[in-house]
């Protein structure tokens, strides 16, 4: 009875509410999650606008050059957090709050040591890796400085990231949203202040974006921990959770790893593919690299609905399996796929209509702007296919079925996207690089649909913890 009390104060959505259709439950969970994802990237977007307009295209290119490298080094963390979210979702569906805390503590401990390794690797070797991927010489030094700041902050950022996934596993998408608002406001004020030296602050140039990232996320994470403690949230960072983080339960960690590592491996392969694609782009010069960064900024916002809907579908699926309510799984999938096409379709249409205006927020060079616009026209529509496949793979992973969805994703990336980009580059130039994306998305959607229909639907799904 004591464990249930905090649930009365918990923000979130009840997936087992039988009075509302599934799409409405998705909506209640999805709106804060969508806004959270947008705000989480807003600091990066705002920094890019400031860098591009207050310093210049070279600064924007310098930051853009390290996106794939950063993504690569945090990939296994994303996998771990995915595994812990599935287990927390299943435990929450079964109302097993002790297991929830044990999963959270174990994941925090593993994430901290992973972050320390990432920080060391990133600080020591970022410049070497940037050279390996043919980063243009005129931006190499600035890219390396920015990367070292970001990697040094990994222990704090990793713990913040996994904590938000814990909360979402219980259906609470509101609390992470509130504190990402804090992150965004601080970044919005700190970045130009540090670029221009407002209020007597030092003029940091390109380092301003990195320092703003560290400060804004650090303050927001600390504030969130205080809030959870005051509200006595079941996943607050208390002595019990810290003990589980220090004395790791290896059985629980193995379950987290078994689910998370295939997902993390897929993300690693995606990030390696992005590094390969970036090396193709870098051959066309720093203007092309800046255009790549601008297109990635726009595409990241187009991806948010797809990613958010797939996260919601995975969490709802895990809760259904934990509560032994498999009768609701089909409704979860149908609602997720439908919302992907409705919400994603509207956003993509707006992206096409206002592409010049949006890209112009952070690119002033006419030639770079033209390159970015052409690339965006090629790839934007295909993220609807990406979203559909993400929903299917997310629900399959909610049951712990991860190997084959992961294989499909890796195959589409390395057997389709990268070879297609390389080959088409020689015929269509920079545009050919981007043509690899829609081709790969079409292939992976076909593969995931066949896997879901012919295999996963026929399986019996048991709780994993």
pLDDT tens-digit series, residues 120-156: 887 887 777 777 766 677 667 777 777 778 888 888 9
The pair of three-digit structure tokens given for residue 233, joined into one six-digit string: 């949230």
Query: Which tens digit of pLDDT belongs to each residue from 395-420?
Result: 998 888 888 998 999 999 899 999 99
d(Cα 172, Cα 179) in Å, to the nearest integer? 13
Name the pLDDT band for 11 (thresholds 50, 70, 90): low
User: What pLDDT is attached to residue 392?
Assistant: 95
User: What pLDDT is attached to residue 1?
Assistant: 36
382, 442 Cβ separation under 8 angstroms? yes
Q: What is this structure's pTM?
A: 0.77
d(Cα 407, Cα 386) in Å, to the nearest integer? 16
Name the pLDDT band for 7 (thresholds 50, 70, 90): very low
In this model, does residue 353 exceed pLDDT 80? yes
User: What pLDDT is attached to residue 35?
Assistant: 81
Give me the DSSP letters along 348-407: HHHHHHTHHHHHTTT---HHHHHHHHHHHHHHGGGHHHHHHHHHHHHHHHHTT--HHHHH
Q: What is the mean pLDDT of residues 288-293?
A: 81
379, 438 Cβ separation under 8 angstroms? yes
User: What pLDDT is attached to residue 223?
Assistant: 94
Q: How many CB atoms lie within 10 A of CB 242?
A: 13
235, 228 Cβ separation under 8 angstroms? yes
User: Between 405 and 97, whose confidence is greater?
Assistant: 405
User: What pLDDT is attached to residue 9?
Assistant: 44
In this model, does residue 254 exceed pLDDT 90? no
Tell me the residue length of the chain: 465
d(Cα 175, Cα 157) in Å, to the nearest integer? 17
**Helix 383-398 × helix 329-353 angle, to 10°:** 160
User: What pLDDT is attached to residue 6?
Assistant: 42
User: What pLDDT is attached to residue 412?
Assistant: 92
The pair of three-digit structure tokens given for residue 336, joined into one six-digit string: 């997720």
Q: What is the mean pLDDT of residues 316-342?
A: 89
The pair of three-digit structure tokens given for residue 159, joined into one six-digit string: 């713990």
Name the pLDDT band for 440 (thresholds 50, 70, 90): very high
The pair of three-digit structure tokens given for residue 315, joined into one six-digit string: 């969490």
């Amino acid at each position: 009875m004591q464990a249930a009390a905090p649930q009365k104060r918990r923000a979130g959505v009840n997936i087992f509410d039988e009075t509302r259709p599934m799409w409405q439950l998705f909506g209640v969970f999805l709106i804060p999650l969508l806004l959270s994802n947008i705000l989480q990237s807003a600091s990066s977007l705002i920094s890019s606008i400031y860098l591009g307009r207050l310093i210049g295209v070279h600064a924007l290119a310098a930051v853009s050059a390290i996106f794939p490298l950063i993504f690569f080094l945090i990939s296994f963390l994303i996998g771990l957090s995915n595994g812990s979210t599935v287990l927390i979702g299943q435990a929450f569906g079964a109302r097993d709050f002790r297991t929830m805390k044990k999963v959270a503590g174990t994941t925090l401990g593993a994430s901290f040591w992973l972050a320390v390794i990432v920080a060391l690797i990133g600080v020591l070797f970022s410049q070497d890796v940037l050279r390996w991927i043919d980063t243009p010489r005129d931006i190499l030094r600035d890219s390396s400085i920015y990367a070292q700041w970001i990697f040094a902050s990994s222990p704090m950022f990793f713990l913040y990231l996994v904590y938000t996934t814990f909360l979402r596993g219980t259906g609470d998408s509101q609390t992470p949203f509130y504190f990402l608002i804090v992150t965004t406001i601080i970044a919005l004020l700190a970045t130009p202040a540090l670029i221009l030296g407002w209020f007597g602050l030092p003029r940091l140039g390109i380092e301003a974006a990195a320092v703003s990232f560290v400060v804004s996320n650090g303050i927001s994470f600390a504030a969130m921990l205080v809030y959870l403690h005051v509200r006595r949230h079941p996943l607050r960072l208390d002595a019990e959770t810290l003990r589980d983080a220090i004395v790791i339960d290896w059985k629980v960690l193995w379950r987290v790893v078994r689910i998370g590592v295939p997902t993390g491996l897929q993300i690693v392969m995606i990030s390696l593919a992005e590094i390969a694609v970036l090396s193709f782009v870098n051959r066309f010069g720093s203007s092309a690299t800046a255009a790549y960064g601008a297109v990635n900024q726009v595409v990241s916002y187009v991806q948010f609905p797809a990613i958010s809907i797939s996260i919601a579908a995975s969490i709802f699926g895990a809760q259904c399996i934990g509560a032994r309510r498999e009768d609701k799984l089909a409704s979860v999938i149908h609602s997720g796929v439908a919302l992907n096409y409705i919400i994603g379709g509207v956003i993509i249409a707006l992206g096409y209509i206002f592409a010049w205006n949006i890209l112009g927020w952070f690119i002033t060079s006419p030639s770079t702007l033209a390159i970015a616009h052409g690339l965006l026209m090629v790839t934007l529509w295909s993220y609807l296919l990406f979203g559909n496949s993400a929903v299917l793979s997310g629900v399959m992973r909610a049951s712990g079925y991860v190997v084959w969805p992961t294989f499909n994703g890796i195959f589409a990336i390395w057997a389709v996207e990268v070879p297609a980009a390389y080959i088409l580059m020689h015929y269509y130039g920079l545009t050919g690089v981007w043509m690899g994306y829609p081709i790969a998305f079409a292939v992976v959607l076909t593969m995931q649909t066949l896997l879901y229909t012919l295999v996963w639907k026929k399986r019996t799904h048991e709780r994993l913890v």
